[in-house]
Structure 1
């Protein structure tokens, strides 16, 4: 599933082609996404100028004067800028035609994504209760420490809770916990403030590095020009169960937590 770095990579890729452009056409080839594409979407977008392309958590926000389109890439979706009028592919479900001649195409083989309209996205049920952005000043070790007091949940689950902080998916949680030297099953409420400072910094470093490398492609993700992300080549622990720890050489352990793979070093993480 595309996580925060993949969505931010997509945002950075499409924004220069979309911002300031008038929507001259809207094509909905299949409205049966996770939630049905509104029947009114075409009339709401037609003739509107895309002022900015923003991101909140794993949602892309196409901001127009009349409102905002909230887009989620789902399990396997991608947003691509088409410059050569190439024909639509089988799973290209939604397409915007822009005044500059470019097409913005949404491809989603599993149809778990969404295109929704909102007059006020900050109050939308999908966005209003989200935690801070991990790359913002609002997110730090003190924030994690305060929210974790009394929590018996494993720290990995804690930092993957979007009410605590957004965008820390499974891959990046594994990597950040390794960098911070924290065992994924340690109880969130038993971690000190100093260690949370290290973890917050590790989360920022991990996500920033992934964005610079275009995200992580393990199976489906491609960015706005159809190319994969390359952060997978820099993964320290995720997907490396049984291999040597890059720090101490001990075999990395792989366990299941909430039906997700968790890889850690039994020597470096406690």
Structure 2
């Protein structure tokens, strides 16, 4: 599943190709995504210029000045900029044709993503209004995590994956950040000290920043916006390494289930 670094990689990949360009037509081949694509999406977008390509958590936001196209890649979605009239394949559900001849193609084999339109303030949109701060912004602080965790018994991993706490920290990078901070994923978040939360905040920021710099994580279903895969997977310390030796201590990486997700960790390095 594309996580925040993959979405940011996609944003950076498509931005220079579509920003400042005008939409000529929108072709919808399959409207049945997680939520139905608006029936009048072609009428809404035709003639509008894409002024900015932004991101909020795992949502891509195409700002036209009069509204935003909200795109979520779901479990398997991707966006590609094509410079030729390439024939659509089975899972190529939407093409946004630009007046310069380029097209932005949305592909989603599992159809868990979304392509929606919003003319109101983004901070009031139902999908965005409850999101916490961006993990790489200054509003995401040790004090915030520490105070919000007090009195809670839920595992720290599910706590930091809660979008109301911090926006966009998914399974892969939560696992990696907890390893980097030396914290077990199943530790009760309310029992963790402020000093250890300081380590965790630094680890989340460092892990995400490095992943973005290196182009995200290459997963089976993800392709970057420029058609090139990411490279961060080569450096994953615990995610997907169940049964393998820890890169720090050599002990076996273990796996548990938290919130119906696999959580990999080292029982020696993480306490």
Shorter chain as normaliser: what TM range? over 0.9
Structure 1 consecutive aligned stretches of length 4 or more whose deviation exceeds 3 Å: none
Cα separation, 1, equivalents of 2:179 and 2:59: 27
Question: Which of 24-33 and 240-249 deviates more?
Answer: 240-249
Alignment size in residue pairs: 270
Q: Using the alignment, how far apart are the partners of 1:241 and 1:267 within structure 2?
A: 14
Provide the rounded CA distance (Å) in 2 between the counterparts of 1:103 and 1:218.
24
Secondary structure in 2 matching 1:194: helix
The 2-side partners of 1:30 and 1:249 are apart by 48
**Deviations for 1:170-213, whole angstroms, at most 9, x for unmatched residues?**
11111000000001111101111111111011001111111112
Structure 2 stretches of 5 or more lacking a match?
none
Whether 1:181 and 2:182 are equivalent positions in the alignment is yes
Give the Cα separation in 2 of the matches to 1:183 and 1:110: 32
1:140 touches 1:201 (CA, 8 Å); kept in 2? Answer: no
Instruction: Trace 1:247-266 onto structure 2 (pairs within 5 A).
Output: 247-266=248-267
Matches within 5 A, 1:103-142: 103-120=103-120, 121-142=122-143
Q: Secondary structure at the match of 1:6?
A: helix
Deviation for aligned residue 1:226: 2.4
Q: Specify every segment of 5 or more residues in structure 1 that has no aligned partner in the other structure, as ranges.
A: none
What is the deviation of 1:267?
1.1
Distance 2:8 2:226 in 1: 14
Shift of 1:249: 1.5
Q: Name the residue aligned to 2:82.
A: 82
- Measured in 2, the distance between the counterparts of 1:19 and 1:225 equals 14
Structure 1 vs Structure 2 CA RMSD = 0.9
Secondary structure in 1 aligned to 2:110? coil
1:115 and 1:5 map into 2 onto residues whose CA distance is: 20
* TM-score w.r.t. length of structure 2: 0.97
**Counterpart contact for 1:24–1:98, Cα < 8 Å:** yes
Q: Verify the 8 A CA contact 1:60 1:72 in the aligned structure 2.
A: yes
**Scaled by the length of structure 1, what TM-score is found?**
0.98
Equivalence for 1:201: 202
Q: After the TM superposition, which residues 56-67 of structure 1 pair with which residues of structure 2 at under 5 Å, given as runs?
A: 56-67=56-67
Q: 2:230 is matched with which residue?
A: 229
